[in-house]
């Protein structure tokens, strides 16, 4: 059965994720569709969702205003696989404080029992790339692109740590929910998108 993946297109790295997901479908030979989604109606049709990197305060506020926050939370809590990238992982978290300004009271989905430090590695000009590994999901080598990235400062007992960089947690998983501090859509390596497509495929078929 064909699978239907959406990329939340309120703000952020939408086109890059559409392209990486299309490439992953082709490489895996899986029959699937990927489209940008914005409204509660679009979101309710999905088998899987990518929440892209961008600016979590903007994505959260606008999703709240257009009514998407509620349906996102319901779908994900009912098992829809989701890949939250950078700002996307922030939105999935229960608590996210900024490294410099602390609490911001931004809207969050509060699905993952994790505490985040936003902008944990510094400002835009401190962006960097580093080699990571995500051994437990079969990705021994991955080039992590970090842009104003968060790190995970605390995880609940049911959250699996997938990767660390400089002692900071930068990728996690809880069941069908995956979060990364870095941007897989900004590399040519589609391993993480392939992993996600497979997860959506298995959970649907």
Using CB under 6 A as the binding rule, the residues of this chain from 45 to 84 that contact ligand GLN are 53-56
Residue 15's Cβ-side half-sphere holds a number of Cα atoms within 13 Å equal to 0
Active site residue 131: no
C-alpha 35/C-alpha 9 separation (Å) is 9
Near ligand GLN by CB under 6 A: residue from 80, 83, 87, 111:
87
Residues 147 to 166 in contact with ligand GLN, rule: CB under 6 A = 147-149
**What count of other Cβ atoms lies within 10 Å of the Cβ of residue 34?**
23
Max Cα distance, the chain (Å): 47
First-to-final CA distance of the chain: 7
Scanning 2-10, 34-42, 143-151, 184-192 for contacts with ligand GLN by CB under 6 A, the matching segment is 143-151
* Chain center to CA of 62: 17
Minimum distance, C-beta of residue 163 to ligand GLN, in the bound complex (Å):
16
Of 110, 160, 167, 183, catalytic = 183
- Regarding 184 and contact with ligand GLN (CB under 6 A), the answer is no
193 annotated active-site:
no
N residues, the chain: 205
Q: In the chain, which ranges are E strands?
A: 3-8, 32-37, 48-51, 82-85, 93-98, 112-118, 128-134, 139-146, 151-155, 160-165, 168-174, 177-180
Which residue lies nearer to ligand GLN by CB, 91 or 197?
A: 91
- The answer to whether residue 173 forms part of the interface with ligand GLN (CB under 6 A) is no
Of 86, 110, 131, 167, catalytic: 86
86 given a catalytic annotation: yes
So which residues are the catalytic ones?
86, 183, 185
The residues that touch ligand GLN, with contacts defined as CB under 6 A, are 53-56, 86-87, 90, 118-119, 147-149
């Amino acid at each position: 059965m064909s699978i239907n993946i959406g990329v939340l297109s309120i703000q952020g790295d939408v086109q890059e994720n559409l392209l990486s997901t299309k490439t992953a479908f082709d490489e895996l030979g899986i029959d699937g569709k990927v489209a940008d989604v914005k409204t509660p109606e679009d979101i309710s049709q999905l088998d899987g969702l990518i929440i892209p990197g961008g600016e979590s305060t903007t994505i959260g506020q606008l999703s709240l205003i257009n009514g998407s926050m509620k349906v996102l939370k319901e779908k994900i809590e009912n098992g829809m696989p989701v890949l939250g990238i950078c700002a996307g992982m922030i939105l999935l978290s229960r608590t996210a404080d900024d490294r410099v300004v602390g609490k911001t009271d931004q809207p969050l989905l509060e699905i993952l029992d994790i505490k985040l430090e936003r902008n944990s590695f510094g400002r835009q000009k401190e962006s960097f790339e580093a080699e990571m590994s995500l051994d437990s999901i079969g990705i021994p080598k991955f080039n992590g692109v970090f842009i104003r990235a968060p790190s995970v400062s605390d995880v609940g007992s049911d959250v699996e740590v997938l990767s660390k960089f400089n002692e900071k947690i930068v990728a996690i998983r809880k069941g069908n929910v995956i979060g990364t501090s870095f941007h897989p859509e900004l590399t040519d390596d589609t391993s993480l998108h392939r992993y996600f497509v497979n997860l959506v495929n298995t959970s649907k078929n």
